[in-house]
Amino acid sequence: MALRLAKHWCLSAIRSPLQVISFPALQLHVSGTAMRADQKDFENAVTRVKLLKKDPGNEMKLKLYALYKQATEGPCNVPKPGVFNLINKAKWDAWNALGSLPKETARQNYVDLVSSLSSSSASSSQVKPGADKEQQGSENLVVTSENGITKIMLNRPTKKNAITTQMYQEIILALKAASKDDSTITVLTGNGDYYCSGNDLSNFTDVLSGEIEEKVKSIAILLRDFVDCFIDFPKPLIAVVNGPAVGISVTLLGLFDAVYASDRATFHTPFSHLGQSPEGCSSYIFPKMMGPAKAKEMLIFGKKLTAGEACARGLVTEVFPDSTFQTEVWTRLKAYSKLPPNAMRVSKQIIRNMEKEKLHAVNAEEVSVLQERWLSDECINAVMNFLSKRAKL
Ligand SMILES: CCCCCCCCCCC/C=C/C(=O)SCCNC(=O)CCNC(=O)[C@H](O)C(C)(C)COP(=O)(O)OP(=O)(O)OC[C@H]1O[C@@H](n2cnc3c(N)ncnc32)[C@H](O)[C@@H]1OP(=O)(O)O
């Protein structure tokens, strides 16, 4: 089975230069009891390193390796490799050089170092507090803040705004920044004819042979953190659904405070077709929102809804004709952004707090099930069929 998976995934996998000096294997737990905050920061940082698109260079990788070992095992306690064992000797030297640095300090230094690496590639998508003008966005995610509204726009119109792993991370950063900036409301929307076609199925090919399960764990943690950000987002969060929405972009809507849709929009969650299962807390929110029968029609059988149907089921707040969609919605949003921000926050808090713990538990459970699904033949075959252009939704 492992060989078969490796063969599948390697079809389009690119060997990352990060592998020249490989990182220690991780034992991270996706579900289960809550972790201490600093340990969670550390584990998040380990995940982010694995998802870095740009090779940080061997010197940096040695620093990260040494700090990781010190943070997890303490001072170097293994025999020095022979002089001809160049890579292992370099790793040993880096670890040994940290002497008796306490584990906690090593963990903190590791988190700081990873933050500096991640921010150099993703800082452009963060909105600084107090900003009141257009911000520099990354290529695939444009974040602007104006007149009390922070707008996060998916910007991959040629790929129907499919979400790459890099974009999941950028959205997390953008939401964290928006929760602290001086805007009153936050909006998520898409550029082009689609709102979002869901998870970019190419994310599946970005997996190296021999470390599939480890990579799956990292992605699972990323997904859980991503959805957690929506659960915890403190201000009114509004989706401006400018066109069709697929997969995770639909399930997440249950965590928004208002969903405005163009009458061109459709809502499709084809999880069974893809050998996958629901996420974004939809397995809990959808049945509560629209009743179990209607929720199952979407989440198990993949029924695609029109905007009107989604509105009738409570997933959409209001539908607008496409010709006047942007004008009408933005006029509405500008008016909302002038409402007293603290009152809106506390009202949202009261409503969300009743369910927060439950939502985090649901998220963890959904991700844990998905982790298994991603390694199933059903899922692998569906993704391979899409990527080899044999299938479309
Ligand atoms: C090993 C573990 C790794 C796991 C990684 C998982 C990470 C977290 C997962 C979270 C769970 C999320 C679940 C979901 O979101 S499920 C939904 C996934 N989405 C889809 O299945 C949609 C697939 N796309 C389509 O069926 C069609 O493209 C679509 C109906 C959306 C539009 O059809 P249309 O004919 O109008 O347009 P094209 O197909 O020509 O699309 C234009 C180009 O865009 C590319 N495209 C579109 N959507 C995606 C996508 N989701 N992923 C990747 N690429 C996408 C399409 O291929 C075209 O590209 P080219 O122009 O290069 O051919």
Query: How remote is the CA of residue 351 from the centroid of ligand 1, in Å?
Result: 34
**What's the pLDDT score for residue 207?**
61
The model's pLDDT over 274-283, given as tens digits with 9 standing for 90+, comes to 999 999 999 9
> Which residue has the least CA distance to atom 4 on ligand 1?
204
> Which residue has the least CA distance to atom 30 on ligand 1?
393
Q: Does pLDDT of 127 surpass 50?
A: no
The model's pLDDT over 309-356, given as tens digits with 9 standing for 90+, comes to 999 999 999 999 999 999 999 999 999 999 999 999 999 999 999 999
pLDDT-derived band at 209 (thresholds 50, 70, 90) equals low
Q: List the structure tokens of 54.
A: 């740009």
Identify any residues that bridge with 239 across adjacent strands, giving them in sequence order: 188, 259
Q: List the structure tokens of 254.
A: 């249950």
**What's the pLDDT score for residue 126?**
45
Ligand 1 pocket residue status of 159, Cβ below 6 Å: yes
For helices 86-96 and 58-73, angle between their N-to-C axes, nearest 10 degrees = 60
ipTM of this complex > 0.90?
Answer: yes
Ligand 1 pocket residue status of 380, Cβ below 6 Å: no
* Residue 200 CA, closest ligand 1 atom number: 52
Query: How remote is the CA of residue 338 from the centroid of ligand 1, in Å?
Result: 37
The model's pLDDT over 142-166, given as tens digits with 9 standing for 90+, comes to 999 999 999 999 999 999 999 999 9
CATH class of 39-119: mainly alpha
Identify any residues that bridge with 261 across adjacent strands, giving them in sequence order: 241, 319
Query: How remote is the CA of residue 25 from the centroid of ligand 1, in Å?
Result: 30
CATH number for the domain formed by residue range(s) 141-391: 3.90.226.10
> Which residue has the least CA distance to atom 57 on ligand 1?
159
**What's the pLDDT score for residue 59?**
77
**What is the spatial distance between Cα 149 and Cα 177, in angstroms, rounded to a whole number?**
13
More confident residue, 124 or 292: 292
Q: List the structure tokens of 280.
A: 């974004």
Span 41-52, average pLDDT: 80
Query: How remote is the CA of residue 197 from the centroid of ligand 1, in Å?
Result: 5
Q: Which range is least confidently modeled, 41-50, 61-70, 271-280?
A: 41-50
**What's the pLDDT score for residue 60?**
83
Q: 155-169: b or e for each residue (b if 16 or more CB lie within 10 Å)?
A: bbeebbbbbbbbbbb
Report the SS3 class of residue 158. Answer: helix
More confident residue, 308 or 133: 308
Ligand 1 pocket residue status of 383, Cβ below 6 Å: no
DSSP 8-state code for residue 389 = T
Span 237-264, average pLDDT: 98
Mean pLDDT value across the chain:
85
Q: Does pLDDT of 263 surpass 80?
A: yes
Report the SS3 class of residue 254. Answer: helix
Q: Which range is least confidently modeled, 14-23, 197-206, 219-228, 267-276?
A: 14-23
**What's the pLDDT score for residue 112?**
81
Q: Does pLDDT of 133 surpass 80?
A: no
- Which of 60-64, 103-107, 175-179 ranks highest by mean pLDDT? 175-179
Report the SS3 class of residue 379. Answer: helix
Q: What is the percent of the chain with per-residue pLDDT over 90, rounded to a whole number?
A: 65
Sheet order of strands, 305-306 included? 245-246, 266-268, 305-306
Give the domain ranges of the chain.
39-119, 141-391
